[in-house]
Amino acid sequence: MGAHALDDDLEDLAASARADLVREIDASGAWAADPLWREAFAAVPRHLFVPYYYVVARGGYKRRWCGDPDPDRRREWLCGAYADVPLATRVRDGELISSSSQPSLMAQMLTTLRVRDGHAVLEIGAGTGYNAALLAHRLGDGRVTTIDIDPEITESARQHLAAAGHHPAVVTGDGSRGVPERAPFDRIIATCALSSIPGAWPAQCRPGARILAPFATGLIALEVRDAGHAEGHFLTTPAYFVPLRGGTRPEPEPPDLGGLPRRARNDEGFRFVLALTAGTLTPSEAYTLWEHEERPGRERFGITLSGDRARVWLDEPDGPHTWPLS
C-alpha cells in the first residue's frame, strides 16, 4: 500500500472520522469567530499528513502506520489520525523533534490569526504540512510560506502537501530568520515553542500585521506597528509545542523551587509566570508577584518588542509591573 492510498473501506472511514473531528471542534467553539475555518478542516484530509506517527508505549514510542499489514492496525492508525490530540511524527534518539498539533488548538490559533483574503502568511515550523495545507485551502497556495530547519521535515511536508493537492512555498532554513525573499507578510504563525521573539519577524511584516507564537507555555499575539515595534497580550490558552530549532537562545535550566509552597510548585499558571520571568526575577520574587496579583491568568500578561529589546508586562505596558525579557 502506498503512503497516500487507502482501501475503499478505509476511504469511507476517513471521511466519517474527518466529519466527526469537525463536529468535535465545532462543539469546542474554536472557530466561532471565523467559521470559514470549518470548511478548511472539512476539506483537508489529515491522514495524508500523518502516514505514520508514534504513540507512547512501555520503554519509548510505538509506531502506527498506514502500511501496516494488519487491517485492524491500519484502522487504528486511521482513527488515531483524526483524533483531536497531538501526534508525535518524528522521534530521533528517543527525543520528539516534530509533531502534528492538536486540531482544535490549531483551529483556535488559525482563528486568532485573523487572516483575510489576500493576506500573505509565513508559518514557522513546517511539521507535517497539515497546517500549511489548511492555510493554503483558505488563502491559496501562493499566499502561504512554511519553513523548517530540517530538510527531511520540509521534504516530507512538501510530499504530503502535493498528495493533498497543495503547493505552497516550502523553505528549508532557520525559521528565526524568517524568509526575507518572500516578505512582506501580513501574518506570521509559529507552530513551535520560542525562547525569544526573533527581531527578523516584525521586520518582515507589513504595518498592522499579526504574529502568533507559542511562548512560555502560552500563546502570544503581537500586533506589528512597524519594522521595529510590536506589542500584544497572551491568550488564555495553555500551549505546549516542540521547541524551535535554530538561532534563538537555548532554554534556561529549570529553577530550584524547593523553597516555595507545594501549591505554587504544582500550579501550571505559576509555572507560566516562572517561564516569563526566567533570568530576570528569582522564583521567590515571581511567587510574590503571583500571590500579590491574585494569581493572574495568562491573558493579563503581554510583551512589547522595540528594536532589539523586549519587555514583559502585567496588565499594561507602562504599568507598575514590567521587566526585561531575558
Per-residue pLDDT at 260: 87
Per-residue pLDDT at 255: 64
Per-residue pLDDT at 106: 96
Per-residue pLDDT at 256: 64
Domain architecture of the chain: domains with CATH: 8-233 (3.40.50.150), 262-324 (no CATH)
3-state secondary structure the chain: CCCCCCCHHHHHHHHHHHHHHHHHHHHHCCCCCCCHHHHHHHHCCHHHHCCEEEEEECCEEEEEECCCCCHHHHHHHHHHHCCCCCEEEEEECCEEEEEECCHHHHHHHHHHHCCCCCCCEEEECCCCCHHHHHHHHHHCHHHEEEEECCHHHHHHHHHHHHHCCCCCEEEECCHHHCCHHHCCEEEEEECCEECCCCCHHHHCEEEEEEEEEEECCEEEEEEEEECCEEEEEECCCCCCCCECCCCCCCCCCCCCCCCCCHHHHCCHHHHHHHHHHCCCCCHHHHHHHHHHCCCCCHHHEEEEEECCEEEEEECCCCCCCEEECC
Low-confidence ranges of the chain (pLDDT < 50): 1-2, 248
Per the annotation, the verdict on 99 as an active-site residue is: no
Per-residue pLDDT at 6: 79
Per-residue pLDDT at 196: 87
Of the candidates 28, 98, 101, 195, the residue annotated as catalytic is: 98
Per-residue pLDDT at 182: 98
Condensed to tens digits (0 to 9), the pLDDT of residues 215-253 reads 998 999 999 999 999 999 999 999 888 887 665 455 555
